Amino acid sequence: MTHQKKAEQLLHQQYHCSQALFGAFAEDFGVDLKTAFKISTCFGGGMRQGSVCGCITASLMVLGMAMGFYDSQDKELEVYGNKKTTEFINRFTEKMSGKIKCRDILGKDISKPEEVVDIRKDGLIMQKCPHAISISIEILEEMLEGYLKDITETSINLEDIPHDDEMMLMLKNMRRLRRFRRNVNDLLFSARNPVGIIQFDVRKFKLVNDLYGEKFGDEVLYFIRRKLKEICSKEQYYINVRSDVFMVVMEYEKEEELVKFIQNLDVRINSFKNVKLQMSYGVYIVEDREMELRQMEDRASMARRAAKDSILTNILFYKEKFKERLYTRKFIEENMQAAINERQFMMYLQPKYSIAKNEIIGAEALVRWRHPERGMIYPDQFIPIIEENGFVKKVDYYIWAEACCFIKKCEASGVMPCPISVNVSRIHLKDNEYIEVLSDMIESNGISKTLLELEITETADDLQISRKALKLKEEGFTLLMDDFGSGYSSLNVLLETPFDVIKLDRKFMENMMVSNKGRLILEQVVLMASKLELGILAEGVETKEQVELLRSIGCDQVQGFYYAKPMPEGEFFELLKKQQAE
């Protein structure tokens, strides 16, 4: 039943406005009707004094309950709560054209017994109040929906909830999360032993969904919730925070207990219907109980994400996460120079395709680090670190040189080379050294400038890019704006910098498949690029549907797993050769 219907029904049963309104939302917060009436009657004082309309009091209670700003210890929530309260009152006042006093709406003063008799006799509540109630509900629903969009902690796929009422579903999840947080706060307040916060998720859950379907994915989550229910005691709180992310909070005496608990859980959810499930667990051990719970959750979450990246273990403690990061950094710093000297860095090439011609039109050079003991290390693991210490310059020079060599090699063996784009780290843009290096490389290898293209990532620091890029442009290089749409200032940079091609960030591909809005934005960007006479290339194209969509909106150049993954240069050479032989 909708909130409007429920409120109407209650009004017909002779309840007054604040009871009807608050009662209509009662179920959303897990409050039974009787309690709802009690609460709203207690707080109906303002209305009984004949001053503000009872709808205001009840609505503010609804907001408070739904958004959880009952905790005055939580300053952030309090500020948020005040803002929402003001917003409600302003909107209500406006819609009621300033008529917000009970006595103005009813035309009678309910603080006077003789007038109350009139109200009853004439059925004034049924006549005059529905309008205010319906306005309140309308505003409340909008505000709650906005709030649901604001928060990220909502989860979906909870059992036993009808899926047709999304709003109700989200409210229920919010309620669950709030109840969970309240329990955890109580535990933190009273526990004599240390408390641990475990957060975990399913590795590659998206892949599970893609491979076996979303229904199967839902079943997996339900299965995990059931297992949690089985093994958690009454004092061990668990929740499905959102999609595949779960949390357990528990008291323990020795750290081994925590690890044992996790191992036990892990064995139980190890596989579902013969599909192997891998989990990543992050643990935060509460040190300072005064800290905000959200912050503790963040720490557990950081540890979880670090566990995901770890090759050694799937359980990481928050503290160790930092240790691990320190070790990684140390490892990289100690080994990077040797990696250059011993030629452990390798250039991989990822082809770029034309959809219409269905052939290779270029490639991007991507670095790989093949360490003799550690195996393959991917750029996301080491580029950020060597960007900080400046070593990325050397790695870039190395890869640029490899790209030039490759082009020369093609020419020497009678294969027509295609343009190769290389990544230019932002670090280079601080001075002009790299322009000289590039020009030297081009000259000494005797290759055409048009064959070596430069990818520069858009950043917030757009002015600097623009100035430097102008210089590159004067030198005659082709410039690609990398990761367009992932940063802040894409449009400004576009206006100020003479880029030749825009590389659309992977996020565009993801968004366009899930929402119509995403698709529309993409379409406009493609249109804009063509008006500005810029080339446009879509990155991260993974599916046939994406290819079809891109084709239909006039984006022809693509790069992504759908066509080919990055490959060793030898393999790419063969591919190119084969294409030219056809």
For the bound state, the minimum distance from the C-beta of residue 12 to ligand C2E, rounded and expressed in Å, comes to: 57
Is 228 or 451 the residue whose CB approaches ligand C2E more closely? 451
For the bound state, the minimum distance from the C-beta of residue 540 to ligand C2E, rounded and expressed in Å, comes to: 4
Is 396 or 539 the residue whose CB approaches Ca ion more closely? 539
For the bound state, the minimum distance from the C-beta of residue 565 to ligand C2E, rounded and expressed in Å, comes to: 7
Q: Is 561 in the site for ligand C2E (CB under 6 A)?
A: yes
User: Strand 535-539 to strand 375-377: parallel, antiparallel, or no bridges (unpaired)?
Assistant: unpaired
Q: Which stretch binds Ca ion (CB under 5 A): 31-39, 211-219, 491-499, 534-542?
A: 534-542
Is 40 or 457 the residue whose CB approaches Ca ion more closely? 457
Q: Which stretch binds ligand C2E (CB under 6 A): 65-73, 97-105, 128-136, 374-382?
A: 374-382
For the bound state, the minimum distance from the C-beta of residue 425 to ligand C2E, rounded and expressed in Å, comes to: 4
Q: Is 309 in the site for ligand C2E (CB under 6 A)?
A: no
Closest CA to 331 of 305, 307, 301, 311: 311
For the bound state, the minimum distance from the C-beta of residue 539 to Ca ion, rounded and expressed in Å, comes to: 5
- Residues with Cβ within 8 Å of residue 306, at least 6 apart in sequence: 282, 316, 321, 324, 325
For the bound state, the minimum distance from the C-beta of residue 343 to Ca ion, rounded and expressed in Å, comes to: 22
Q: Which stretch binds ligand C2E (CB under 6 A): 191-199, 202-210, 287-295, 378-386?
A: 378-386
For the bound state, the minimum distance from the C-beta of residue 578 to ligand C2E, rounded and expressed in Å, comes to: 21
Q: Is 546 in the site for ligand C2E (CB under 6 A)?
A: no
Exposed e or buried b per residue across 379-397, where buried means at least 16 C-beta atoms within 10 angstroms of its C-beta? beebbebbeeeebbbebbb
Binding ligand C2E (rule: CB under 6 A), the pick from 30, 379, 518, 535 is 379
| Spatial separation of the C-alpha atoms in residues 105 and 99, rounded to whole Å | 7
Binding ligand C2E (rule: CB under 6 A), the pick from 137, 366, 447, 549 is 366
| Torsion angle defined by CA atoms of residues 331, 333, 336 and 338, in that order, rounded to the nearest 10 degrees | -80
Taking each helix axis as running N to C, give the angle between helix 124-150 and helix 54-67, from 0 to 180 degrees, rounded to the nearest 10.
20
Distance from the Cα of residue 501 to its chain's centroid: 27
Q: Is 482 in the site for Ca ion (CB under 5 A)?
A: yes
Q: Which stretch binds ligand C2E (CB under 6 A): 134-142, 198-206, 355-363, 539-547?
A: 539-547
Residues 405-424 that bind ligand C2E (CB under 6 A): 423
For the bound state, the minimum distance from the C-beta of residue 515 to ligand C2E, rounded and expressed in Å, comes to: 19
Is 455 or 462 the residue whose CB approaches Ca ion more closely? 455
| Spatial separation of the C-alpha atoms in residues 92 and 134, rounded to whole Å | 11
454 touches 424 (CB < 8 A):
yes
| Spatial separation of the C-alpha atoms in residues 359 and 375, rounded to whole Å | 32
157 touches 165 (CB < 8 A):
no
Name which of ligand C2E, Ca ion, none residue 251 binds, using a CB cut-off of 5 to 8 Å depending on partner kind: none
Q: Is 549 in the site for ligand C2E (CB under 6 A)?
A: no
Is 88 or 434 the residue whose CB approaches ligand C2E more closely? 434
For the bound state, the minimum distance from the C-beta of residue 506 to ligand C2E, rounded and expressed in Å, comes to: 6
Q: Is 557 in the site for Ca ion (CB under 5 A)?
A: no
For the bound state, the minimum distance from the C-beta of residue 378 to ligand C2E, rounded and expressed in Å, comes to: 5
Taking each helix axis as running N to C, give the angle between helix 54-67 and helix 75-95, from 0 to 180 degrees, rounded to the nearest 10.
150
Closest CA to 541 of 562, 564, 569: 562
Query: The tokens 């009454």 sit on which residue?
Result: 234
Q: Is 157 in the site for ligand C2E (CB under 6 A)?
A: no
Closest CA to 59 of 94, 29, 17: 17
| Spatial separation of the C-alpha atoms in residues 475 and 443, rounded to whole Å | 13
Binding characters for ligand C2E, 469-488, by CB under 6 A (x = yes):
-------------xx-----
Q: Is 453 in the site for Ca ion (CB under 5 A)?
A: no
Give the bridge partners for 245, in sequence order: 201, 242
E-assigned strand segments in 440-534: 452-457, 478-484, 501-504
Binding Ca ion (rule: CB under 5 A), the pick from 251, 402, 455, 569 is 455
| Rounded alpha-carbon distances, angstroms, from residue 317 to 125, 193, 306, 330, 457 | 60, 18, 9, 20, 34
Binding Ca ion (rule: CB under 5 A), the pick from 320, 458, 483, 569 is 483
Is 71 or 510 the residue whose CB approaches ligand C2E more closely? 510
Helix (H, G, I), strand (E, B) or coil at 466: helix
Which residue type sits at 527?
L
Binding-site ranges for ligand C2E (CB under 6 A): 350, 366-367, 378-380, 383, 392, 396, 399, 423, 425, 482-483, 506, 540-542, 559-561, 566
Binding-site ranges for Ca ion (CB under 5 A): 423, 455, 482-483, 539
